[in-house]
Amino acid sequence: MTNLTLDRRSFLAASAAVAGASFLPGSLLAQGGPIRIGTLTPLTGAGGPYGPVMVKAVKSVVEKVNAAGGVKGRMVEIVSEDDQTNPEAGVRAARKLIDVDRVSAIIGTWASSVTTAVAPLCWESKTFLCTVSGADAITLLPHQGYLVRTQPNTALQGRKFGEFAVEQGGKKVFYFSPQTPFADSQYAAIEAALSKAGGESRKYIYDDKKPSYRSEVDEMLRYAPDTIVLGGYTPDTSVLLKDIYRSGFSGTKIAFGYSVNQKLLDTVQPELAEGIFTISPSPAAGSEAYKALVSLIGVPSPDPYTTQIYDHINLVLLAIAAAGQASGEAIKDHIRAVSQSPDGVKVNNAVDGLKLIAEGRAINYDGASGPCDFTDIGDIIDCQFRYDQVQGGKLTLVKIA
Amino acid sequence: MLSYLLFTLTIGGIYALLALSLNLIWGGVGMVNLGLAGFFAVGAYATAIVTGAGAPVIVGLGSALLASAIVGLLVTYGTLRLRGDYLAIVTLGLAEVIRLIALNERWLTNGADGMSGIVAPLRSTVGSQAFNLGYLVFVSAVVILMWLLLRRLDHSPFGRAMKAVREDQELAGFAGKPVLRLKLQAFALSAAVAGLAGALYGHFQSYISPDHFQPLITIYIFLAVSAGGVGRPAGAVIGAYAVVAFLEGTRFVAELLPGVDPLQAAALREMLVGAALLLILHLRPQGLLPERIQPARKTRP
């Protein structure tokens, strides 16, 4: 029994030490001390491949800013936590960032469930949150302005589909989609784009586990569209394409870049997929910010999330400089002043922007992921999309716009 | 800092309930339940759905207990012939089935978007700081109550019969113990405790989604119970708080280590969880607070 008490005591002592030690970092923060920004990216779990590069990009930006004298003379400090691609673990990490490190902003949350779980902690503690999650519901949360995202939501993607269909001369668009969380919002945006151009559209929701889509395709033929939009994933789209080919449909076909991909092209007969256009969100490849990011982290073609978090850190630091203080509230109130000021000087990195702000000039940040202009609820207004076409069994770039 | 401590202790309390649940079924009857996250999910979703429809929180908690107990009964019926590793695998599958139901039955669970805005009782009237403190007190009280109840259970004839089944099911049956009924009762009770933990988590966080209920949390709880001592409720509770302290404490330790980047720190934390489990099993397999077996009462001559 003596052993037992000893164990319990040493355990208590150890946990007290851990708890005590955790008091330290908070007390180091004083007014005029470093500006703290938290990154909450997946470093382990399903998002594990993306998070580490994202953190690297943020650290590189901050090193540059600190080398150039910091933000209004204050150094910037990055605290990185792992959300483990799990909302339960993500919330614990966010609480630590908010309550212990007292960060002004959390950037880079990746999985939609993590973002939705973390967002309430942020707006309640007046901490700013920048995310790369795509679920439409996120910006509809009552976040009071404490949230922006750089990932296009599905409505914006839908609009791009609609506009591209019109551009290709489409007047009657038929939208095929399985039951997904975004089918409705996406179709609404397509419909709006079509009716604006005087066209019309119809949607058809199918079951994505069927071995054949004869009756669905018959339904499509009855409508006699000139354009069809394929809203499904790779497996069901492969099956659907066969039946569309059999029907002899010869109009325009548009699909998501993630469904009609090289994998699909490798598995279906070449004639089935020939001529399909694909659309996918694209970083602003070729923009100054994108080039700066590439040279900063030494990765030739950074993934969209890395370009987005690069924009997050730049925007947050610029907003702090514009506000003259580092609170989450200040970032909330000034982020749009640096991201989309109509007569601001265009800048593509924080160091240049900070100089201009110090000179008292208005700026307008254009980033590596796109123009980074936000609506009132925090969605991006526009971003670049990549349009490809299947030509000779290969995806060939049509344009990035 | 204070609110971080309050938060961590509340999460510790919720982990403690899960550990008590696992300890009851694993330490008590010897059934390995790798589906803990599933019962956690059933409880969380049950209260989210019921209170979302306008029922008071107390009814939500009640329905969480009931729903997970029913699922627990169904599982026990479905796995009557399975023991040991086979049962463990099936329960792991069950947790995944529950997660997939939550993901796909959008009409009920709102699918991948998850259910947000779950009622946090009294939060709007007392403010979030007071709510966090009050909730910690509430969760801690539930943990203490549950611990006392389960400790009492262990020392009762029911507890002794349960442990007889754990040691040798055939022998217990031969000695006249109703093995099936004991298993059903214990599993239902254990599932209900896990469901209660889920419900408390849901009302605390106001948001749940299928992603919350990945097997990760089950592994943490296994670590907690192994560390604390299988078969002793106090051990499970201490183990759970220790695991949360460990998970959170390593964040600060990683920051103090020079030359460790965030990715390495994250990987190290995961490795440490595994290493801790191995070390405990190797050095102190009976756990921090080993099971106390009461000597049999002396029979009168």
Nearest to B208 by CA among A351, A88, A62, A387: A88
The string of pLDDT tens digits covering residues B205-256 is 999 999 899 888 999 999 999 999 999 999 999 999 999 999 998 888 877 8
The string of pLDDT tens digits covering residues A235-284 is 889 999 999 999 999 899 999 887 888 888 988 898 899 999 999 888 88
**What is the length of chain A?**
401
Angle at A168 (CA atoms; ends A162, A170), nearest 5 degrees: 65
For the ranges A313-317, B268-272, B289-293, the one whose mean pLDDT is highest: A313-317
| Rounded Cα distance, B84 and B91, in Å | 11
pLDDT of residue A6: 45
Interface contact B247-A92, CB threshold 8 A: yes
Confidence band, pLDDT 50/70/90 cuts, at residue A30: very low
Chain centroid to CA A326: how far?
Answer: 24
Q: How far is B174 from chain A (nearest CA, A)?
A: 35
**3-state DSSP assignment of residue A77:** strand
Interface contact A18-B207, CB threshold 8 A: no
pLDDT of residue A179: 72
pLDDT of residue A27: 37
pLDDT of residue B114: 87
Structure tokens belonging to residue A320: 């702090």
**What is the length of chain B?**
301
| Beta bridge partners of residue A386, listed in sequence order | A280, A400
By Cβ distance, the residue of B217, B245, B270 closest to A88 is B217
Interface contact A11-B249, CB threshold 8 A: no
Q: How many CA atoms lie within 13 A of A377 on its CB side?
A: 10
**3-state DSSP assignment of residue B8:** helix
For the ranges A98-112, A203-217, A278-292, the one whose mean pLDDT is highest: A98-112
Interface contact A11-B238, CB threshold 8 A: yes
CB-CB neighbors (< 8 A) of A92 in chain B: 7-8, 11, 247-248
Nearest to A79 by CA among A49, A102, A46, A112: A102
By Cβ distance, the residue of A81, A93, A116 closest to B207 is A116
Interface contact A18-B252, CB threshold 8 A: yes
Interface contact B288-A25, CB threshold 8 A: no
Chain centroid to CA A64: how far?
Answer: 24
Contacts of B241 (CB under 8 A, 6+ apart): A15, B9, B12, B15, B16
The string of pLDDT tens digits covering residues A332-343 is 999 999 999 888
pLDDT of residue A400: 85
* Count of C-beta atoms within a 10 Å radius of residue B77: 12
Indicate the Cα dihedral angle B103, B104, B105, B111, nearest 10°.
50
DSSP B25: I
Sheet of strand A105-109: strand arrangement: A76-82, A35-41, A105-109, A128-131, A147-149
By Cβ distance, the residue of A26, A39, A44 closest to B267 is A44
Interface test with B, best of A77, A88, A139, A309 (most B CBs within 10 A): A88
Which whole number is the average pLDDT over B40-62?
95
Nearest to A182 by CA among A111, A232, A132, A240: A232
CB-CB neighbors (< 8 A) of A22 in chain B: 1, 4, 248-249, 252
What proportion of chain B, given as a percentage, has pLDDT over 90? 63
What ipTM was predicted for this assembly?
Answer: 0.87
CB-CB neighbors (< 8 A) of B127 in chain A: none
| Rounded Cα distance, B102 and B111, in Å | 6
Q: Are A248 and A220 in contact (CB under 8 A)?
A: no
Angle at B58 (CA atoms; ends B56, B63), nearest 5 degrees: 100
Q: Do the two domains A35-153+286-365 and A155-282+384-400 of this chain adopt the same fold? A: yes
DSSP, residue by residue, A39-76:
EEE-SSSTTTTTHHHHHHHHHHHHHHHHHTT-BTTB-E
Residue B11's Cβ-count burial label (10 Å; 0-12, 13-18, 19+) is buried
Query: Which carries the bigger pLDDT value, residue B292 or residue A327?
Result: A327
Nearest to B224 by CA among B247, B256, B255: B247
CB-CB neighbors (< 8 A) of B241 in chain A: 15
DSSP B293: P
| Rounded Cα distance, A256 and A157, in Å | 9
Q: How many CA atoms lie within 13 A of B97 on its CB side?
A: 11
pLDDT value at A2 more than 70: no
- B-facing residues of A in 360-379 (CB < 8 A) are none
pLDDT of residue A32: 66
| Beta bridge partners of residue A172, listed in sequence order | A200
pLDDT of residue A21: 46
| Rounded Cα distance, A302 and A295, in Å | 11
Nearest to B118 by CA among B47, B194, B62: B47
**3-state DSSP assignment of residue A201:** strand
Chain A CA closest to residue B127: A124
By Cβ distance, the residue of B4, B211, B248 closest to A111 is B211
Distances (CA, A) of B210 to A209, B70, B215, B284: 22, 20, 11, 35
pLDDT value at A390 more than 70: yes
**What is the homologous superfamily of the domain A35-153+286-365 according to CATH?**
Response regulator (3.40.50.2300)
The string of pLDDT tens digits covering residues A64-107 is 999 999 999 999 999 999 999 899 999 999 999 999 999 999 99
Q: What is the pTM of this model?
A: 0.82
Residue A192's Cβ-count burial label (10 Å; 0-12, 13-18, 19+) is middle
Q: By the CB < 8 Å criterion, does A53 face chain B? A: no
pLDDT of residue B295: 76
Chain centroid to CA A304: how far?
Answer: 7
Which whole number is the average pLDDT over A7-14?
54
CB-CB neighbors (< 8 A) of A139 in chain B: none
Interface contact A89-B216, CB threshold 8 A: yes
Q: By the CB < 8 Å criterion, does A91 face chain B? A: yes
The string of pLDDT tens digits covering residues A363-383 is 999 999 988 999 999 999 888
Domain spans, chain A: 35-153+286-365, 155-282+384-400
Q: How far is B70 from chain A (nearest CA, A)?
A: 25
Which whole number is the average pLDDT over B267-290?
87
Distances (CA, A) of A312 to A66, A370, B96: 17, 12, 35
Which whole number is the average pLDDT over A347-361?
93
Nearest to A207 by CA among A236, A246, A183, A187: A236
| Rounded Cα distance, B40 and B68, in Å | 8
Nearest to A284 by CA among A340, A381, A367, A382: A367
Mean pLDDT, chain B, rounded, equals 91
Contacts of A30 (CB under 8 A, 6+ apart): none
Please name the CATH architecture into which domain A155-282+384-400 falls. Answer: 3-Layer(aba) Sandwich (3.40)
Interface test with B, best of A113, A125, A179 (most B CBs within 10 A): A113
Interface contact B266-A44, CB threshold 8 A: yes
Strands A394-400, A385-391: parallel, antiparallel or unpaired by DSSP? antiparallel
pLDDT value at A56 more than 90: yes
Mean pLDDT, chain A, rounded, equals 87
Q: How far is A358 from chain B (nearest CA, A)?
A: 32
Residue A19's Cβ-count burial label (10 Å; 0-12, 13-18, 19+) is middle
Interface test with A, best of B18, B115, B207, B271 (most A CBs within 10 A): B207
| Beta bridge partners of residue B100, listed in sequence order | none
Which range, of A164-173, A180-189, B38-47, B143-152, averages the lowest pLDDT?
Answer: A180-189
Domain spans, chain B: 2-213
Q: By the CB < 8 Å criterion, does A296 face chain B? A: no
Q: Are A150 and A312 in contact (CB under 8 A)?
A: yes
The string of pLDDT tens digits covering residues B85-141 is 899 999 999 999 999 899 888 889 988 788 988 988 888 888 888 999 999 999 999
Interface contact A23-B1, CB threshold 8 A: yes
pLDDT of residue A1: 36
Interface contact A89-B267, CB threshold 8 A: no
Angle at A19 (CA atoms; ends A18, A25), nearest 5 degrees: 90
Structure tokens belonging to residue A162: 């609609």
Query: Which carries the bigger pLDDT value, residue B197 or residue A177?
Result: B197
Structure tokens belonging to residue B138: 């509430």
